[in-house]
Amino acid sequence: MDRKSRRQKNFFKLLATEGTGSDAKPKGKIYVVHRSTDKALLASSIVNNEKRLGSVGYKSQGEDTILEEYKDYLENYDIRPDLGWTGDDTLNYHSYQFEKTAIKFYFSKDLVE
């Protein structure tokens, strides 16, 4: 198993599951909130020599790199257009997951059953 596949399996272990054994399926989804102008993630991409989910979302990683068993449990949200930020100072801001726009997105999803 390659590195990306191992990382996906570890990532999806964060979700609860329904069923048991080989019939177990993830319960819920992983929502990838991303922003292409996040300088912290840009720097991390350069240092780690790979795209970061938080800057590009999972689809730009390449659909073919996502394990088939997980494709229905991922959703992207490009938060950049909804933030309405302008100016260079906002490029350094990395904690946009706490902005009202992000909170509204979280509440629009059925996160708890």
Q: Does residue 66 lie within any of the structural domains? A: yes
Q: CB-based burial of residue 79 (10 Å sphere; 0-12 exposed, 13-18 middle, 19+ buried)?
A: buried
Count of structural domains within the chain: 1
Q: What is the band of 58 on the pLDDT scale with cuts at 50, 70, 90? A: confident
| Residue range 70-96, pLDDT digits in tens | 888 888 898 888 887 766 556 567 888
* d(C-alpha 97, C-alpha 37), whole Å: 14
- For the stretch 27-45, pLDDT in tens is 888 888 888 888 888 888 8
In a domain, 96, yes or no: yes
State whether residue 73 is helix, strand or coil. Answer: helix
Q: Is residue 65 part of a domain?
A: yes
Structure tokens at 110: 């059925």
- Range(s) of the domain holding residue 49: 3-19+29-107
* 53 part of a folded domain: yes
Output the CA–CA distances (angstroms, integers) from residue 43 to 29, 32, 47, 64, 96, in the order listed.
28, 19, 6, 25, 17
Of the candidates 64, 60, 11, the one whose C-alpha atom is nearest the C-alpha of residue 35 is 60
